[in-house]
Amino acid sequence: MSEYNCFIEVPFQNRHQCWFCAEPAASHFTFPHQAHVIFDCPHPKLTVPSCSECLDAALKAKVRSIWQVSQQVKKFLMRKYKKDLAIGLNWTREELADAGFEGGSFSGFQKSAWFMYEVAKQRVNFFGWPLILDGVEITSEGDSESFNFDGVCYPSIEEAIEYYCDNFRLDAVFFRQILAKTGPDKFAQAVRFCRLYIAATPAEKSRALHDF
């Protein structure tokens, strides 16, 4: 079967978009493909439109389904846009507009930063349209591992933990211990609490964990 015989149906409004991130699609990605032979793929061979950047990331994914490929591509985009997404952690659009950078060395940052944040968030948050091949929808064999928080859809809660610990210099072990007590639905509370203990000693963190 050629790659074009297994091309999924593309809705009219998505006809020029990458299935992974919604950017203009210059190519296409087929799974499974010859560079990664698997024997337990749970769906037929599928071809989706893709931008060149997502195509490169998708080809490196050593997984067993198109949905797992999508998760790996999202992880790649999270790493690529780490600094741009961090703008949304540290500023609001209004705060950035009123930052007073006009005319200074940071004026370029002020003009482009929020736009880059929105581009990054849109690419990371985008979920491809349903996979329909020859009129039949191909559905996932399991629930998505994605985790939504503060307007961003992370590939998994582990990705969110890693991202926040990295950006706020949080103790990852301490954060996971606090999150285990609060639960994922109180992720923001866990972040705020752990930020109070960035410079704390191990003994202070141990007491805080005990008293939390």
61 and 97 part of one domain? no
Residue 132: count other Cβ atoms within 10 Å of its Cβ.
14
pLDDT given at position 171: 96
Query: How many angstroms separate the CA atoms of 115 and 141, rounded?
Result: 36
pLDDT given at position 48: 97
Count how many domains the chain has. Answer: 3
Assigned domain for 148 exists: no
The DSSP bridge partners found for residue 131 are 138
Assigned domain for 72 exists: yes
pLDDT given at position 104: 53
Would you state the torsion angle of the CA atoms of residues 174, 176, 178, 179, taken in this order, to the nearest 10 degrees?
A: 160
Q: Which amino acid is at 43?
A: H
| Domain, as residue range, for 98 | 81-125
49 and 7 part of one domain? yes
Q: What is the pLDDT along the chain (212 residues), one digit of tens a residue?
A: 555 679 999 999 999 999 999 999 999 999 998 888 888 899 999 999 999 999 999 999 999 999 999 999 999 999 999 999 988 887 777 877 766 655 554 555 666 888 899 999 999 999 999 999 999 999 886 656 789 999 999 988 999 999 999 999 999 999 999 999 999 999 999 999 999 999 999 999 999 999 98
Contact 87, 113 (CB under 8 A): yes
Which of 80, 111, 138 represents a domain boundary (last residue)? 80
User: Looking at the whole model, is its pTM more than 0.85?
Assistant: no
CA angle 179, 181, 187 (to 5 degrees): 35
8 and 68 part of one domain? yes
pLDDT given at position 105: 47
Query: How many CA atoms lie less than 13 Å away from 179 in the CB half-sphere?
Result: 20
1 and 75 part of one domain? yes
pLDDT given at position 113: 82
